[in-house]
Structure 1
Amino acid sequence: MPEPTTLDLEDLRATIAEIVDVDVDEVTDTADFKEDLDVDSLLALEILVRLERKYQVKLSESNLQKVRSLKETYDLLAEQLEAA
């Protein structure tokens, strides 16, 4: 089994920018994914799935509500990785 990826804010920013197909500079700590980056529910689910694979954590669909900004996503992943 591969080693889990270490959580890094800038790496997370780049990953989300890639998924959402925007420039990394647009993914600020407080940018709202839905309002500022036009993330719909399907794209939010893709973010969740890709983060699960990358960080080897289980994120339920109820976590979709928590994936609204880079900071909130980082905090959620940190919490999940700590619990693992």
Structure 2
Amino acid sequence: MPTLTEERATKIKEIVCEILELEEDEVSETSLFREDHDADSLRAIEILASLEKEFKVVIDQSELARMVNLKGVYEVVAESAGW
């Protein structure tokens, strides 16, 4: 049975992949959204908004600079949610 941390990480990856229109196996924890997957700033805002809605948190837009890959996204969401 997956842990809560694994479930959250999986959900974050699902959201990111859906917005970037990628298969989950195309995105690694450290692959860069802009450089490796051609994501633009509008997609980054979409990811941020979706994560806020899903996890009921508020994420400052200044955190977008850290949200360049799944690892960064998870760290930002975890800090905002107090995980």
Query: Do both share a fold (TM > 0.5)?
Result: yes
Structure 2 residues without counterparts, runs of 5 or longer: none
Q: TM-score, normalised by structure 1?
A: 0.85
Structure 1 residues without counterparts, runs of 5 or longer: 1-5
CA-atom RMSD in angstroms: 1.5
Residue correspondence of structure 1 range 1-84 to structure 2 within 5 A: 8-82=8-82
After superposition, the C-alpha distances for 1:24-60 in whole angstroms (9 at most, x for unaligned) are 1111000001101111011101111111101111011
**C-alpha distance in 1, partners of 2:27/2:13?**
6
What percentage of aligned pairs have identical amino acids? Answer: 35
The size of the alignment, in residue pairs, is 78
